Chain A
Amino acid sequence: AQKVTQAQTEISVVEKEDVTLDCVYETRDTTYYLFWYKQPPSGELVFLIRRNSFDEQNEISGRYSWNFQKSTSSFNFTITASQVVDSAVYFCALIDPLGNDMRFGAGTRLTVKP
């Protein structure tokens, strides 16, 4: 069975601080995809990144970076120099190799204070 754990329920930081959101996953599949989604207060789910199980290179996109480590089954997300607009709930998700069963973590609510 697939499972995604986001142990941090809520995080609060002050603007310009760096913050890392943790994600740990469980799967028996050797091929899988990991995702991060952002859910701002407006409620929609915004796709941030996808990573496949064969690509362990870290990725940076502006102030966002992702650290994928298969050895620890983790796919952590770091926001550098956080801004108030980063305040949202962030979800980590795992999908099976057939692209059917996507499992979401419980989400981490990030609040960035001015």
Chain B
Amino acid sequence: DARVTQTPRHKVTEMGQEVTMRCQPILGHNTVFWYRQTMMQGLELLAYFRNRAPLDDSGMPKDRFSAEMPDATLATLKIQPSEPRDSAVYFCASGFPPGDLYEQYFGPGTRLTVT
């Protein structure tokens, strides 16, 4: 049963520290999405990659966030320096549009708390 995996599942860090979240997409999926979920903003698309190339990161605060896909099995989302307002659940999803009729398969999320 193929799944998207994310590490760590939980992260507590102090303001100013660097945070790196990792995602392993489902093998064969060529598109990876990063979402952020907060109570105030709901689920927001931060960035997505196709065939490892960034297609859109307009939803991401550029000054402190960066997303990369060093290889087909790993996507990373980095925050440096982190701030309390970054506290949220970060979801990674993968897919291969238009395959599976555009369905995105979500990972379990990384719950980030910045104190």
Contacts and interface: CB of A to CB of B under 8 A. Distances in A.
Interface residues of B, number: 23
Interface in B36-95: 42-43, 45, 48, 50, 55-56, 89, 91, 95
Nearest to B48: A100
B101 A106 contact: no
Given A100-B48, A100-B55, A100-B56, A45 B91 contact: yes
Interface in A73-114: 91, 95, 98-107
Interface string A32-54: 01010100000111010010100
A50 B106 contact: no
Given A44-B108, A45-B91, A100-B55, A106 B42 contact: yes
B98 interface: yes
A37 B50 CA distance: 23
B45 A50 contact: no
Interface residues of A, number: 21
B102 A99 contact: yes
B89 A99 contact: no
B103 interface: yes
B101 A52 contact: yes
B42 A104 contact: yes
A50 B103 contact: yes
B43 A91 contact: yes
A43 B48 CA distance: 21
B102 A50 contact: yes
A35 B97 CA distance: 14
24 contacts: A33-B102, A35-B103, A43-B89, A44-B106, A45-B106, A50-B101, A50-B102, A50-B103, A95-B102, A98-B97, A99-B31, A99-B97, A99-B98, A100-B31, A100-B48, A100-B55, A100-B56, A100-B97, A101-B45, A101-B56, A102-B104, A103-B45, A104-B42, A104-B43
